[in-house]
Homo-oligomer: A and B are copies of this chain.
Amino acid sequence: MSFSARLDAATAAVLARAMEGGPSQLARALHYAVTPGGARIRPTILLSVASACGDDRPHLSDAAAVALELIHCASLVHDDLPCFDDADTRRGKATVHKAFSQPLAVLTGDSLIVLAFDILAAAAQDGSHSDVQRALSMVRVLAARTGMPMGICAGQGWESESSINLSAYHRAKTGALFIAATQMGAIAAGQEPDQWEELGARIGEAFQVADDLRDALYDADALGKPAGQDAIHARPNAVAELGVQGAVSRLQDILGGAISSIPRCQGEATLAQMVRRYAEKMTPALPQLNAAAR
């Protein structure tokens, strides 16, 4: 089964269980926030790493992939709230608080966070000692990269500081869930997570720079969400710091570093290819960016 078919099937099963018998509006809001998905980059990276490591427990890697995507969706729903980005659109449709209400958007984010941890525990509950340990270890990695002091919540929290620790900010805000992706993929397949941190961190950096470029140069129609938000909210941004051309070179350097950081494993070559594919996905923008930089 393709990664995308695995993700669809696992996501549908999880959502059905979370919605059954609950209040119908909140149930619909959960479904709305998660489907149809965006690019699902993080869970795809997770499954790619699990695959490269042998993927001997596909039900654990599927659970990890869905859990990670739910955390990402929860963060989007909360980030779109009026007290943060006050965004009207996301993935080309109304944001959750616009389509439902602010209370339901807060509860949707909360419920998705809870569900993410439940999925990890559910996947291993009646499993072997190794399964149960992997699940617990994935709970710890996902929590570390979601909450305080160094997860995506911390990343958002840095925006409320008068003096910002830029490297902690970037690593937490965007890098964290990419690190969770590579580390959880490795753990799901029985590998130690430590050596997988750098690959996640570098993919996260590349993604942040690409996102900064898109935010600065594209309009809302192309993005499916409001454009120019970094400038409006005076957020740190690679384009402001390095200029367009500098940001493009930076992106290419980081991706090269990502590929050379891949640990030895049976699927090393395929994984390097995946990173190159992501690099290409980010590059359709480059000719335009080069033109804009002139």
Contacts and interface: CB of A to CB of B under 8 A. Distances in A.
A244 interface: no
B101 A148 contact: no
Given A23-B158, A118-B143, A132-B133, A110 B149 contact: no
Interface stretch (A13-21, A206-214, A284-292): A13-21
Nearest to A112: B147
Interface string A7-28: 0000000000011111111110
A146 interface: yes
B157 A140 contact: no
A121 B143 contact: yes
Interface in A103-124: 103-104, 106-107, 109-111, 113-115, 117-118, 120-122, 124
Nearest to A163: B24
Interface in A262-290: none
A25 B149 CA distance: 11
A221 interface: no
Interface stretch (A35-43, A53-61, A76-84, A88-96): A76-84
Given A23-B160, A106-B84, A125 B148 contact: no
Contacts of A168: 21
A82 to B, nearest CB: 8
A120 B121 CA distance: 11
Copies of this protein chain in the complex: 2
A56 to B, nearest CB: 19
Interface string A148-170: 11110110111111000100100
B111 A110 contact: no
B20 A149 contact: yes
Contacts of A19: 148-149
Given A83-B103, A103-B84, A118-B140, A154 B26 contact: yes
B147 A18 contact: yes
10 contacts: A26-B153, A27-B148, A74-B110, A78-B106, A101-B160, A110-B153, A113-B113, A114-B146, A121-B137, A125-B140
Closest 4 CB pairs of A and B: A22-B149, A114-B147, A26-B157, A118-B143
Given A25-B161, A111-B151, 19 more contacts: A18-B148, A21-B150, A22-B149, A23-B154, A26-B153, A74-B110, A83-B102, A83-B106, A84-B106, A106-B106, A113-B113, A114-B151, A115-B148, A117-B139, A118-B139, A121-B139, A125-B137, A132-B133, A139-B139
